[in-house]
Amino acid sequence: MLALFGPTATGKSAIAHALARELGGEVVVADPFQRYRGLEIAADSPRDDARAQVAYHLAGDLDLTEDSTAGSYAEAAHGAIDGILARGGVPVVAGGTGLYLRAALCELDMRPPPSAEVRAWAEALALDPAAALAELESRDPVAAAAVDPANPRRVVRALERAAMGDAGAGQDIWAAPVRRPTLLVVVDRPRDVLREMIALRVRRELEEGLQGELEAALATPGLARGPGQVIGMAEVRAIAEGEMPPDALEDALCARTRRLARMQRTWMRRMDADVVIDLGDRPATDAVPSIAALWRRGREGVV
């Protein structure tokens, strides 16, 4: 197998697509937001022309009213990977979500999702940051010390885990062995280059109609919690409610995406990658020949 990980906007999707074409493979997407029909621009999902050339799995398989969990994703990803191998193809797993990438590659003892009651309790408590932190400290002082109090989503998740007690104790996702022999490649770029590429991507998405797509998603009856977390949803909602001027949207999206890239770099350092490729400012697909050569040598037992 091949697996690709790296910060958003580095070009890993282009590399995965080119490798699948080069090696006779199929792409398994490791990104919760690309699973949703109706978020194609926001999630930078594979478009029709790409899907006409290469088979994609776990992309556009969910409605906006459905939630994607790591457990359900893992089951579907394992089925897709095993099917590709049975057909004699090469699974190319690619994405920027560390948990989903590891869920695709490994047999994880997945933490069960919180009940609706626990989730509602945590979300209500998080509306009062001081009370939420006090409750978290009383239940799990270690988690309280580690959580970012300025990030309500992180606080909610920490409260959910603390409320679940031992039932929420999953294994270390970074230590789990892979199910199949895998060449794991991490791709990165210098910070200043990535900053510019993020700005270019945000501008392109806005020109493609990102704001309208997100407005339509927000108007979807029964919109699930998961798709509601995609970058841009909160900002478009703030514009609709008069809390943010429309001309601030592009800068806000760039800032959110840069924060995501910093988080992905943290995940990247925890992955035991076989090779790390700094793309510099080169086209992403320049890396394809060297990665394909590594994979072929690995298949022959050299690597």
| % of the chain at pLDDT higher than 70 | 95
Residue 149 clears pLDDT 90, i.e. is over it: no
Which tokens belong to 90?
A: 């090469």
CATH 3.40.50.300 domain extents, the chain: 2-110+172-299
Q: What pLDDT digit, counting tens, does each position of 107-140 carry?
A: 987 666 778 888 899 999 888 988 988 998 888 8
- What confidence score (pLDDT) does residue 110 get? 67
- Per the CB < 8 A criterion, the answer to whether 194 and 7 are in contact is yes
Instruction: Give SS3 for 26.
Output: strand
**Greatest CA separation for the chain:** 60
Residue among 113, 92, 99, 115 at smallest CA distance from 18? 92
User: What percent of the residues of the chain are helix, what percent strand, and what percent coil, each to the nearest 5?
Assistant: 55, 10, 35
Q: What pLDDT digit, counting tens, does each position of 293-303 carry?
A: 999 998 887 44
Which tokens belong to 233?
A: 């949803």
Residue among 19, 181, 22 at smallest CA distance from 94? 19
Fold held by 2-110+172-299: Rossmann fold (3.40.50)
End-to-end C-alpha distance for the chain, whole angstroms:
13
CA dihedral 227, 230, 232, 233 (to 10 degrees): 30
Q: Which residues pair with 253 in a beta bridge?
A: none
What global pTM score does this model have?
0.83
